[in-house]
A and B are shown apart, each in its own frame.
Chain A
Amino acid sequence: RKEVEQDPGPFNVPEGATVAFNCTYSNSASQSFFWYRQDCRKEPKLLMSVYSSGNEDGRFTAQLNRASQYISLLIRDSKLSDSATYLCVVNALDRIIFGSGTRLSIRP
Chain B
Amino acid sequence: NAGVMQNPRHLVRRRGQEARLRCSPMKGHSHVYWYRQLPEEGLKFMVYLQKENIIDESGMPKERFSAEFPKEGPSILRIQQVVRGDSAAYFCASSHRTGEHEKLFFGSGTQLSVL
Contact = CB atoms under 8 A, between A and B. Distances in A.
Interface residues of B, number: 24
Contacts of A22: none
Contacts of B35: 98
A94 B99 CA distance: 7
A87 B55 CA distance: 24
Interface stretch (B11-19, B66-74, B76-84, B105-113): B105-113
Nearest to B6: A43
A26 B45 CA distance: 17
Nearest to A103: B40
B109 A43 contact: yes
Contacts of B56: 94-95
A71 B33 CA distance: 24
A42 B108 contact: yes
A43 B91 contact: yes
B98 A93 contact: yes
B106 A98 contact: no
Contacts of A42: 108-109
Contacts of B104: 46, 89, 96
A44 B102 contact: no
A96 B41 contact: no
B103 A93 contact: no
Closest 7 CB pairs of A and B: A100-B42, A43-B106, A31-B100, A98-B43, A32-B101, A32-B100, A101-B42
23 contacts: A31-B100, A31-B101, A32-B100, A41-B111, A42-B109, A43-B106, A43-B107, A44-B43, A46-B105, A49-B101, A49-B103, A87-B42, A93-B98, A93-B99, A93-B100, A94-B56, A94-B98, A95-B56, A96-B104, A98-B42, A99-B42, A100-B41, A101-B42
